[in-house]
Structure 1
């Protein structure tokens, strides 16, 4: 059994390397259905489920340290290739899709509470209110609403399990939809003309240039330094109570990357390779604490979670059809709510690295609304439950 932080990280990197190598070597239908990035997360979950490691204090600390420090470093590198014309071009449709995604989650929580009320606990209106804040904003919104509603940790146990498991599986599903983009875009009647033209214009020939050792080392060192600096500044800004440390670090590192994008640093090679390694490791770390065996511990709550996600998906898909948005933007809008800035960035990177800042913008909109949404949902559910 793995019981040290180094062994844990070595296993995660070995798993990532093996699956990426296999995908490149064996170009078959299996990897079209299950891209390596999806297999990395599922394999990480499976290894934890069979007891390959225990989440000891050392492993928890190592996992958190790598995840929280690599996320801003990765986003800095990815933002070096970004152009603001993408967001300007999408405009009101993008914001509309994000708000509809939030509204669909609210509707999901309300409808599921009405359906499942007789068989769930009496404190479900409060726990669902707190979880809806997390599923429309992020962890900071969940904590704020949980404390505001005075929800006990005991009452939150099953709802937390529902949130963690459903979110993790939903993240895998969203990333796994990538090979089916053309089919979904046909159903959504997606208008990709403007988006495709922008991406074609942004296709940097330098990305295909030879990557030398000096550029790789510079990108690695610079990104880690920016990540560290962003977290330091984020820790100070977290005292304002607006966002937590990691959210501030994400904003700062992304902004710095966008500032440096037009400079000579943005034209250097190596950022794609280094950020790709970071992305796969982060995905593996996300799955490393989710046990597939949890499915049998709280079946009614987990069923409720998937019912909420199903309602959310149906509303979001048909709204996207009206707005003529493509699958990538729909997936990012969904996970920007259900997850957080880091997970939205992971999905954006898995789809197309140029979508990362769009994903972050969507998640920040959710973060601004999440606490208000959670308090509102709790109030609605309490009235319906009276």
Structure 2
């Protein structure tokens, strides 16, 4: 991969302008009537390109160090909660709850698959390269991956402290985590385009999902109207006011739990965790009030715009070049993720769960509340709240599941 670091962009506005131009170009070409573009986007969905193109530019050194993390920090702080609110306030809660038990079943199947896939992958790696396991360093290091893939960043940090992972090794494990999780995310986004064929393979009944989508589309057709300036000012004023409230209250609650070690391990001391919970609760409450009428003027569409900006910001943090430098650790992570994927496909086929439940249940574990709504949106924007709920559930079980997986890894290779 050529090195373009001498051209590195260190201007935050310019870097942000570039990713916005990429998103705009993707959507422009996606909307063109030509046969070439239809075939092109049938293979590579726009949502994948919005992530992969910034990732490629970052790997080539086009963006200076820290630029991607700054833009992601902005999107995660402001646009992620805003998108969650705008998408959640427009949802039909009874119909979402009517999706049934298979959504929860696939989430826990994905959690259990990650728990057992870690020890299996490390056992295979030890059999192939026993020299990598001369001490207890690696199984402790992979505890951070287990915590992240079942929960999120807070659970990952809890595993680091719990098992005494060194800073250098922790950095390598973040690379293993983000690279493999990002590859799986990209694979899901590609497969989402072909979910009907995958559902046929899984012998799944997706009628409950189709009913939710049909109800939302019917609601939009019956109530959609052109937005006025007054509509937009009220929408964004209310939206970002609630984002501010969620951050403030979330920080206060996290501060209350901070002195308790058990709370840290279970993400109760994470301000981000509480922010996501609070903004979701606010959105659910709004969905039962007249505020839901904001979707008549495109609230969920604005939420989708914010999600795509978040996707591009995530791409800016992916370094594809890291695959070469830490290839052995990355291969262990890839084996871990592959076993996880095989298990959840087997479970989905056994219980005839739609691919949507498989994809969102898996990513709610491996990606958390920040990317599970992205996966759900790839199927239909109205399904984003399902990703939010399962992502929050992932935070709740992340530390517990990560601890069990790590102890199993210790028994296998320790």
Shorter-chain TM-score: what band?
over 0.9
Asked whether the 8 Å contact 1:55–1:289 carries over to 2, the reply is: no
* 1:340-374 superposed Cα distances (whole Å, 9 cap, x missing partner): 11111121122222222221221222211111112
**Distance in structure 2 (CA, Å) of the matches to 1:143 and 1:236:** 20
Query: CA 1:31/1:163 → structure 2, altered by over 3 Å: closer, same or farther?
Result: same
| CA displacement, residues 238-284 of structure 1 (integer Å, 9 cap, x when unaligned) | 12241511221111112111211233321131213311221111000
Aligned to 1:31: 41
* Rounded Cα–Cα distance in structure 2 between residues aligned with 1:228 and 1:173: 34
SS of 2:247's partner is helix
Checking the alignment, whether the CA contact within 8 Å between 1:85 and 1:198 is kept in structure 2 is no
**1:157 — aligned with what?**
171
Report the alpha carbon displacement of residue 105 of structure 1 after superposing the two structures with TM: 0.8
**How big is the shift at 1:377?**
1.7
Alignment CA distance shift 1:305-1:119 (3 Å)? farther
**Residue of structure 1 equivalent to 2:240:** 224
1:4 to 4, 7, 11: 11
Counterpart pick for 1:98 among 87, 94, 107: 107
Q: 1:59 to 1:183 in 2, by over 3 A?
A: closer
How far apart are the structure 2 equivalents of 1:270 and 1:8?
28
Structure 1 moving runs of 4+ over 6 Å: none
CA drift at 1:52 = 1.6
Alpha-carbon shift at residue 338 of structure 1 (Å): 0.6
Tell me how far apart the structure 1 counterparts of residues 142 and 179 of structure 2 sit (CA, whole Å): 15
- Asked whether 1:116 is paired with 2:125, we answer yes
* 1:71 aligns to 2:80 (yes or no): yes
Give 1:297 deviation, angstroms: 0.7
- Structure 1 distance, partners of 2:249, 2:281, is 13
1:258 maps onto 2:268 in alignment: no
Which residue does the alignment assign to 2:150?
A: 136
Q: Distance in 2 between matches of 1:59 and 1:373?
A: 30
Query: How far 1:158 sits from its partner (Å)?
Result: 2.6
Shift of 1:155: 2.5
Distance 1:211 1:34, change over 3 A: farther
- The answer to whether the 8 A contact 1:130-1:375 is kept is no
Flag the 1:23–1:280 CA change in 2: closer, same or farther, 3 A.
same
* 1:277-316 correspondence to structure 2 within 5 Å: 277-316=305-344
Q: Report whether the alignment pairs 1:85 with 2:94.
A: yes
Structure-2 separation of matches of 1:35 and 1:50: 22
**Is the contact between residue 204 and residue 349 of structure 2 (CA under 8 Å) also seen in structure 1?**
yes
Size of the aligned set, in residue pairs, is 385
Distance in 2 of aligned mates of 1:59 and 1:338: 21
Deviations 1:224-250 (A, max 9, x none): 222222111111111224151122111
Q: TM-score scaled to structure 2, two decimals?
A: 0.88
Aligned partner (choices 42, 51, 57) of residue 61 of structure 2: 51
Q: Offset of 1:82 from its aligned partner? A: 1.1
Q: Does 1:167 align with 2:174?
A: no
1:306-337 CA-to-partner distances (Å, cap 9, x unmatched) read: 11111111110111112221111110011101
Deviations 1:108-141 (A, max 9, x none): 1111010002253431111122211110111111
Tell me the equivalent position of 2:194. 180
Q: Which deviates more, 221-230 or 197-206? A: 197-206
Q: Is the 8 A contact 2:68 2:313 kept in 1?
A: no
- Could you tell me how far 1:180 is from its partner in structure 2? 0.6
1:318 and 2:346 correspond: yes
Q: Is the 8 A contact 2:177 2:333 kept in 1?
A: yes
